[in-house]
Amino acid sequence: MESVVGSASEEDGSEGDHPDVTIAPSTSPAEAARLAAQHDNQVSRLLASESRGQHAPGKCAWDLVAMVDFPADRRSAVAWIIAEAIMKFRCGNSRAFACWRTAALSANAVAEDDRELVLSFLISVFGRPGAVEPGDTKAKQGKSNHLEGFVAEWLWHLIMKEQQAAHRERKYLSEPSYSVTEQGEDGFAVYAPPGTNVSLFFRLWEIKKHNTESSVVTATVQRASDQLNTRGLQYLAKLTSAHRQTDGDLGILFAELGDLWINADPRAGAGVGVATSTVSPPEACFSPLESTLGQFTNAGQLEGLLCVIENFTEFAVEVRRMVWSAL
């Protein structure tokens, strides 16, 4: 199979980066929504993907998902799917979602009476249009980092939600946090293997946005792996408490999370997801996960997801443009 992106010959994977590429956001939300609908509103059907790594004891099997050299309308379609999913989640059962979506697709701003209601659901992450002065570099940088991290979590969530595999059936998938700075796990999934009378198993995920200007991909994977190693048990404790009223096999699993993690039980496992603009990632970019969480020795216990999004910063801004389009 021809690779969806190039492979770096150097360890840092920096060759092939294109940090200066700027793609003008010209596709309307309505146009983006139409293209998204043609792909069943699934990001995975719009992105290129392939499996990498090894499904072997002590090794990390990982997937590479890429959006490189894509036309602007295709990038916008992915941005729309993410923006719509975010707003649907954040608005809950409020009428704010319908107000937002109708306005965005009609290219008209929400009614003045509805503006503050809609803003209340998005301002903590996306801010208010025009609220940051152009010269306020520090404020802009802070908002950019949070925005990119938030988009990275939602990209991971949608890919995992759409993922189908013959060797397991997903029984539970956590939703992203309301705020990207919220403490706790970034992602958590529960699966059942094929057959009847089988035991559920889980994967605890840490998701990072890779800053191509200050580090290499493997350094970001290392940072995520270290966080799982030092805080993973605390994240699982929080999940056990949050699901204390869950019944059935899923409830039993939530009660046992800590024990399974401490014992590196075959039903426990970990994953690292990274969103990056590095177009040519190194083949061994998830090796830090293998060495840091080496107690998970069974095949399949360690997983990775690398999302290569050309000019990720601009893509995150495009998601925000879709969100703001109703204001």
Least confident of 55-64, 188-197, 199-208, 318-327: 188-197
Tell me: pLDDT of 211 over 90. Answer: no
Q: CA 25: distance to chain centroid?
A: 22
Residue 202 has pLDDT above 60, yes or no: yes
Note the pLDDT of residue 144: 63
pLDDT digits (tens, 9 = 90+) for 72-93: 999 999 999 999 999 999 999 9
DSSP state letter for 44: G
**7 confidence band (pLDDT: 50, 70, 90):** low
24: tokens are: 């003008």
Instruction: Report pLDDT digits (tens) over 118-177.
Output: 999 999 999 999 875 455 444 444 456 689 999 999 999 999 999 988 889 999 999 999
Tokens of 318: 């495009």
Mean pLDDT, rounded, for 299-316: 96
Q: How many angstroms separate the CA atoms of 177 and 149, rounded?
A: 11
Cα distance between residue 111 and residue 99, in whole Å? 8
Does 2 score more than 50 pLDDT? no
Q: What is the pLDDT of residues 246-300, one digit of tens each?
A: 999 999 999 999 999 999 999 999 999 999 998 788 889 999 999 999 999 999 9
Indicate the DSSP class of residue 226.
H
207 has pLDDT over 70: yes
Instruction: Tell me which long-range contacts 260-267 makes (C-beta under 8 A, separation of at least 24).
Output: 260/202, 261/204, 261/232, 261/233, 261/236, 262/233, 264/295, 264/296, 264/297, 264/301, 266/201, 266/298, 266/301, 267/199, 267/200, 267/201, 267/202
